[in-house]
Structure 1
Amino acid sequence: MHALPDTEGKLAENVIHFARALRKAGLKVGPAQVLSAIEAVEAAGFTRRDDFYNTLKATLTVRPNEFETFHQVFTMFWRDPEFLQKMVRSMLPLLQTMGQDTPEAKAAQRRAEEALNEGADEPPEDAPERDMLELDAQMSLSRTEVLRSLDFEQMSTAEEAEAAAAIAKLRLPAPPLKTRRMAASHLGHRPDARAMLRDALRKGGEFTALPKKAPRSRPLNLVVLCDISGSMSAYARMMMHFLHSLVWAPNAGWGHVHGFTMGTQLTNISRALHQRDVDDALKAVGHDAPDWQGGTRLGDALHAFNKHWSRRVLGQGAVVLLITDGLETGGTETLAKEAERLALSCKRLVWLNPLLRFDGFAPKAAGVRTLLPLVSSFHACHNLDSLEDLTAALGGPSQKPLFLSQL
């Protein structure tokens, strides 16, 4: 072992503290991983910064999307002994910030700062005084405006909680569907002959006022198909909050609201979303959908929906929200066939794609090119502003994608 003699006894304690900081930043680090990290560091030693960094990274991370958060937490955690008083000075390696100025790096850095700053707001008594920097916030955006335009994938844990509270207040318009059946109405334009004859029989054959009738209306059903693959995990969590708010919204105007997740398999989460508490509902959704953050096979998922659920939930016409980035890992032949069947079975097929947050978005992926001609409208769903735009768009006529000419 290459550890320094005076730090061997503190090795396990410091690695445990580091693992706790990773958990606060959003990484799922279990006890088995912490034990493996301690054993690996004892075997490899930590005389070199790179060896220590790579050893912890190999044992405490699982998915590639966790690497940036790990780097930010590692950089801030082992940088300064006063940043977390439980660190031992002689054990801390000297680090240089190597993060890139990308949205993913900034989001990971915010999560790292939030995890490490918890309980560290009060400076030590012997800390040197620092110059205070005064900022003129006259032209700066308010916190609410910044939150509304912030991408869901770039949000810290606290920002996600604020966004979830804002999503709970959003509503989707639900214009009623006119049916062929008629009902008595003084605002109707068609005469009601049967009502007129019944009234005449009661009055000895005399005709008085002319009864009118109008078509009956009924609420539309809403069906949500949400992609929960790894590339959609951050957006899928917010969409679950959105769907739960639609289920429990008072006087929402929808008939029945059904929810399904699409990953390596199709899962019906309607019963889970009908739990009143949102935390209990999301916990039940995670239990019912074991393929969360896995792969995605949109064609197979839509095939399962059309085969087992289409007649049950789309029998009287429904609006379908298809939430996915369109990155199909399987073939597009099945996807095209099943998406076309879905579009013909529903009243309106609306596609929500977080990739529309990019100004230069173009339909280059095979799955995107397959789905675009079949949907009624195409919208973004990457932040709060885009969800509010969606509520306005669904209340109007269908909007075909503007770049269908590129296909």
Structure 2
Amino acid sequence: MNAAPPSVAATTETHEAPPMLARNVVHFIRVLRGAGLPMSPAQAVDALDALCLVDLARRDDVGAALAALLTSAPDERDIFYAAFDLFWRDPDWEGKLRALLLPKVQGGLPPPRRNNRLADALAARADVQRGTQPPAPREEYEFRAHATFSAEERLRHRDFDTLSADEWRTLRHLIRARRLPLATERTRRLKAASHGTHADLRASARHAVHAGGDWTVWKYRAPVERKPPVVLLLDISGSMSSYSRAVLYYCHALLQSRERLQVFLFGTRLTHATRALRERDPDIALAQLCTQVADWSGGTRIGATLGEFNRRWARRMLSGRATMLLVTDGLDQEATATLAAEMARLHRFAHRVVWLNPLLRYRDFTPKARGVQAMLPHVDAHFPVHNLESLEAFGHSLSVTPLVARASRAPLRTSLQEGARWS
């Protein structure tokens, strides 16, 4: 699979790629396609033509030529060179492949900087090269299983705090596959339309002048619909580590589909995380956040961090009917008066404030903590976020219709009942 390229003389004399090199280049293109890069058979032909024009003894020239042909974005080059090193240069690529596939847990921190897509693609190509085939069953059994559930169905009801490393990877793919776009709201602005209830007299008169006084064709204007901005404040303290990781996967999927979302992380300090989450690979994005955030899985100072957000970011981020999503358990025991004051100020800035609380997974949840009691009067809606089912239900509510405005306080009580039903 990863045989060394042949000599230069054999290639330059015939100007035709040897069969072994051609097979390896095709395998390499398939590895890149399995790692997520947009590859096509035409690029394999172009790569073979380019290798006939460079010195195959100089690995840097070979890598630069293939990178220029096969990549089109800076983030694709990192995946390309990682695959190039493992496929063409490293004799112990199987050992490093196993190291990539092994789960690594470091005390609640986000996953280390590794590329799971590349590991999966290389693992698939290794199985094909060895010719391993799954053993065929000797006997076939037919049975009915009306009360059984698939692994994906069980994962939807599993608490985020109890997932293994393999289940986290499966969860990431499920969130990306099932995420729905955010709902739109009508604005007071109007745009040109082919039909509607608002007649555009100026455009109709202009058309009549060009048509020689014919007023049979009318122009209309319709309201403009746009997605309101969403700002998310995510608690990354020790009690929220697993839940914040799942919410970050969901935010990464939203940002990859170019939704109007701003993400802030807070524990004992406030961190703006939107730029890091724009990375295409979610594992690399979380690894970058791990290096930037110094208070991951630490303590909680909700009142102080909300005060910093209100002073530095609220006027810029919470304009244009913005929705504030607050993801925390509300377990803050210090300065509850400050927390209540900052929550009231945040509520005045935002069009609506929605609280996502993993503690709603308990059926008998009652707001007894002082931090929870200080926050509840300034919240428009209260939803659970402890498993994939609750996260999908909240995402569905965002995609169907905009969340309830602050004028009504009834949804706060019903959301507590829904939290008990989803748990």
Under TM normalisation by the shorter chain, which class is it? 0.5 to 0.7
Provide the residue aligned with 1:209 in structure 2.
217
1:326-405, aligned counterparts within 5 Å?
A: 326-394=330-398, 395-396=400-401, 398=404, 400-402=411-413
Deviation at 1:152, TM superposition (A): 0.6
- Please list, as runs of the form range in 1=range in 2, the aligned pairs for 1:170-319 lying within 5 A after superposition: 170-249=178-257, 254=259, 256-319=260-323
What amino acid maps onto 2:371 in structure 1?
G
C-alpha separation between the residues in 1 aligned to 2:181 and 2:280? 22
- Aligned residue for 2:155? 147
Aligned-partner Cα distance in 1 for 2:328–2:322: 19
Which structure is higher in RCO with an 8 Å CA cutoff and minimum separation 6?
Answer: 2
Structural RMSD (CA): 2.8
Which secondary structure state, in structure 2, belongs to the residue aligned with residue 179 of structure 1? Answer: strand
Q: Deviations over 1:291-350 (max 9, x none)?
A: 001111111111111111112222223222211001113212222222222223223322
1:26 aligned onto 2:30: no
Change (3 A) 1:358 1:156: same
For residues 60-75 of structure 1, what are the structure 2 equivalents within 5 Å?
none
Is 2:382–2:415's contact at 8 Å kept on the other side of the alignment? no
Contact 2:383 2:415 in 1 (8 A): no
Normalising to structure 2: TM-score of the pair?
0.60
Letter in 1 for 2:391: L
Note the C-alpha offset of 1:236.
1.0
Contact 2:333 2:370 in 1 (8 A): no
AA aligned to 2:176 is A
Give a deviation string over 1:47-80, Cα, whole Å, max 9, x none.
Answer: xxxxxxxxxxxxxxxx9xxxxxxxxxxxxxxxxx
Paired residue type of 2:370: A
Q: Would the aligned equivalents of 1:228 and 1:261 in 2 still touch at CA under 8 Å?
A: yes
Counterparts of 1:47-196 in structure 2 under 5 Å? 139-196=147-204
Corresponding residue for 1:101? Answer: none
Deviation of 1:138 after TM superposition, in Å, equals: 5.9
Q: 1:208 Cα deviation (Å)?
A: 2.8
**Quick one: distance in 1 between partners of 2:214 and 2:169?**
68
Tell which deviates more after alignment, 300-309 or 190-199. 190-199
Distance in 1 separating the partners of 2:287 and 2:156: 26
1:231 shift after superposition: 0.6
Q: Distance in 2 between matches of 1:225 and 1:172?
A: 20
How much identity, in percent, do the aligned residues show? 40
Partners of 1:168 and 1:210 lie apart in 2 by 44
Provide the rounded CA distance (Å) in 1 between the counterparts of 2:414 and 2:292.
37
**Which residue of structure 2 aligns with residue 94 of structure 1?**
none
C-alpha displacement at 1:384, in angstroms?
A: 0.6
CA distance in 2, matches of 1:403, 1:370: 19
Specify every segment of 5 or more residues in structure 2 that has no aligned partner in the other structure, as ranges: 1-101, 109-143, 405-409, 418-423
Which has the larger displacement, 313-322 or 355-364? Answer: 313-322
CA distance in 2, matches of 1:198, 1:367: 62
Question: Separation in 2 of the partners of 1:348 and 1:373?
Answer: 13
- Structure 2 SS opposite 1:355: helix
- Contact (CA 8 Å) 2:193, 2:220: kept in 1 or not? yes
Is the contact made by 1:353 and 1:378 (CA closer than 8 Å) also made in structure 2?
yes
Distance in 2, matches of 1:225 and 1:218, equals: 22
Paired with 2:389 and 2:278, the residues of 1 have a C-alpha distance of 26
Change (3 A) 1:403 1:220: closer
Query: Is contact 1:169-1:245 (8 Å) kept?
Result: no
Q: CA deviation at 1:285?
A: 1.0
1:170/1:300 Cα in 2 relative to 1: closer, same or farther (>3 Å)? farther
Residues 195 and 355 (structure 1 numbering): CA distance in 2 closer, same or farther, change over 3 Å? Answer: same
Secondary structure of the residue that 1:307 maps to in structure 2?
helix
Contact 1:195 1:211 in 2 (8 A): yes
> Is the 8 Å Cα contact of residues 360 and 416 (structure 2) preserved in structure 1?
no
| Residues 318 and 350, structure 2, Cα contact 8 Å, conserved in 1 | yes
Contact residue 381 and residue 415 of structure 2 kept, 8 A: no
Structure 1 unpaired stretches of 5+? 1-22, 29-62, 64-135
